[in-house]
Structure 1
Amino acid sequence: MVRAAASIYLEDYARQIRPHLPRTESSRWLLAAAAILARVPQRPSRQIIAPVNSRIAKPDLARRLRDGGSRKARTAGALAHLLLAGCASAPLDRAGTLQSYDNLTTSNGLVTQSRLRVDEPVIRAAKTVQIVPTAFGAGTTGVPLTVEQRRLVANAVDRALCAGLSERFQVVGPTQPADLTVRAVVTHVTPTDPVAVGASRGAAIAKTILLPGIPVPVPRIPIGMGSLSLEAEARDLAGHQRAAMIWARGAGVLGGSGRMSVEGDAYGLASDFGSDFSKLLVTGSTPFGKLPSFPSAHGIRTSFGGAPSSPACEAFGRSPGVAGFMGGALGLPPGWTDKGAPAAPAP
């Protein structure tokens, strides 16, 4: 029954997103994969029937169910410990960039730390939003990133924010009034060690040669992994803070081999932050502690380089799409596939 329901759901989802995807080979491949997955035949499941009149079978069945549940709990706990232990640390400190730090509450994800607040009625009533370009705070002056690398990371934040906020808001340009004004500041960056990433890439390649066809994941070497911390807030027309978030996250050993550039992890984490903060504003509640959901048709279209629903988002450029996915899989520096924001027109 569960598999049948999942098949119906996937087929319906594929039909819904079809009109919104760009007409590329990659999008057609995605739809074909979803259709194939939805039509995998269901295996007959065994039913365990406990004898109704047996006084011996009932305690035995209860014990097996209890032991199975405890084993699953221990496995989940071990996995969570592995994820947390295999992540680079990122500070969740106040950097002084927010208008107020009052009433911030802890709301952490599995690998993300955050403190946040949101004025839900005001946020839900808002219709338009303006995005102030992300900046690097004073605490990042000693980080060995070039101007171009900083620009690429900051633009990744803005692009993800704009794509996420467009799910519900109308994003307007800098000269237009908006119900909310969003501003984010990078407060901490730990650079990525390209040599360590190269070693991880080498281990992954060696696995494919020595163990071909065996699906054994190769964790990233937990050395030289980057991290990112940001502060962001949304203010209303009167300049009052209506939502705020302090966010910190480090790269993990199970998140791929990384990119061979000093800004590699920060670039990927920038998009994660933009997604989290935009969800806070779109839903009016914390983005953490919830079950994962399928991306929307708009999210899929923009991730494949399609046009965002708000024209103002074009100021941050489009996602590199398939080229970006392939570049990330190969560990290439972000700048090789992401051209960043388009140049401003000459006056």
Structure 2
Amino acid sequence: MPAKTSGTLATYQNLGEQKGMLSKSRNYIDPNALLSVKTVRIAPVAFAEDALYRVKKDEDRALIATALNREICVTLSDKFQVVPLIEAADLTIRTVVTDVMPTDMTAAGVSTAVTLGTGAVLPIGVPRLPVGLGGLAVEAEAIDQAGIQRAAMVWARAANSITDKPRVSEVGDAYSLATNFGNDFSRMLVTGKEPQALDLSLPSGQRVQSWLGGAPKYTACDDFGRSPGLVGVVAGKFGAPPEWTDKPQQRAE
């Protein structure tokens, strides 16, 4: 899944060289400028023309947007106070989905059936079939009150047959990968460092509570709906479309 730009970032000159294996990204972070940041607000996710062409349903775009901003909001809550978009904040987070590689629903359904079937007779199920896999490309930035870019990321990742469970939805993989991006970008802001290939840090209590479908630390995160929690995990194991358990409250632009 190639990384794409859409021209929406304040500048691309700050970005470094592309890094990563599974997730490929070009990053920029100004850790000194982040030392004084107390509050952040999160703008609705926008879709570039290429992404709009590939994801035509408003409902599918809303699922991807919700997964992106919900993860960003919950993870940023570890360090910053997240305020509603109508309030002033030290930083504003702006995110644009630049491209989506749709998941082949037939291949996802076959993969789910094969995995569940083999799991019933073997100690472990076989990996997902390496065909019809989806992907996601995103760019995002954090802008201060003077309009200066303090962090940015151009990111892309494709699903793989080992770690990504198939879901019978054209945006099944993009929906799951949106969480990966949200974590990578927000952790960069929280730590002041570029994301690492292997993150061994334990999640905070407030993040675990939100992942389980509980109330987020800040009410502004409720704009993106509550996580489907364990119900969503179980549904995902059986390949159910994400819209069966996730109900977005905010539409994408």
* Residue 258 (structure 1) aligned with residue 166 (structure 2): yes
Aligned twin of 2:102:
191
- RMSD across aligned C-alpha pairs, in angstroms? 1.5
| Aligned residue number for residue 97 of structure 1 | 8
Does the CA contact (< 8 Å) of 1:124 and 1:282 recur in 2? no
SS in 1 for 2:41: strand
2: CA distance, partners of 1:342 / 1:150:
10
1:106 partner SS: coil
Task: Answer whether contact 1:107 1:288 (CA < 8 A) is retained.
Answer: no
| Deviation >4 Å, runs of 4+ | none
Partner letter of residue 230 of structure 1?
V
Counterpart CA distance in 2 for 1:182 and 1:135 is: 12
Deviation at 1:238, TM superposition (A): 0.5
2:248 to 321, 337, 340: 340
1:269 aligns with 2:148: no
> TM-score, normalising length from structure 1?
0.70
Alignment of 1:55-204 (within 5 A): 90-106=1-17, 108-204=19-115
**TM-superposed deviation, 1:276:** 0.8
- Deviation track 1:91-114 (CA, whole Å, cap 9, x = no partner) reads 113221111011311353341000
Q: CA deviation at 1:222?
A: 1.0
The whole-number CA distance in structure 2 between the counterparts of 1:135 and 1:236 is 19
Partner residue, 1:299:
207
Larger relative contact order, structure 1 or 2 (CA cutoff 8 Å, min sep 6) = 2
Q: 1:224, CA displacement in angstroms?
A: 0.8
Provide TM-score, normalisation by structure 2. 0.95
Residues 111, 125 of structure 1: alpha-carbon distance in 2 compared, 3 angstrom cutoff: same
The structure with the greater share of residues assigned to helix is 1
Task: Decide whether aligned partners of structure 1 residues 305 and 254 sit closer, same or farther in structure 2, where only a CA change above 3 A counts.
Answer: same
Is the Cα contact below 8 Å between 2:55 and 2:100 reproduced in 1? Answer: no
1:258 is displaced (CA, Å) by: 1.0
Count of paired positions: 251
SS at match of 2:116: helix
Q: In 2 relative to 1, CA 256–113 (structure 1 residues): closer, same or farther, beyond 3 Å?
A: closer
Alignment gaps of 5+ in structure 1: 1-89
Which of 1 and 2 has greater Rg?
Answer: 1
Query: Partners of 2:223 and 2:165 in 1: how far apart?
Result: 31
Q: 1:171 to 1:268 in 2, by over 3 A?
A: same
Output the CA distance in 2 between the equivalents of 1:105 and 1:310: 32
- Structure 2 segments unaligned to the other structure (5+ residues): none
1:219 aligned to which of 123, 127, 137: 127
Kindly state the Cα deviation for residue 174 of structure 1 after the two structures are TM-superposed: 1.5
5 Å-filtered alignment, 1:304-319, equals 304-319=212-227
Do the aligned partners of 2:210 and 2:216 also contact (CA within 8 Å) in 1?
yes
Give the drift of 1:144.
4.2
CA distance in 2, matches of 1:313, 1:130: 10
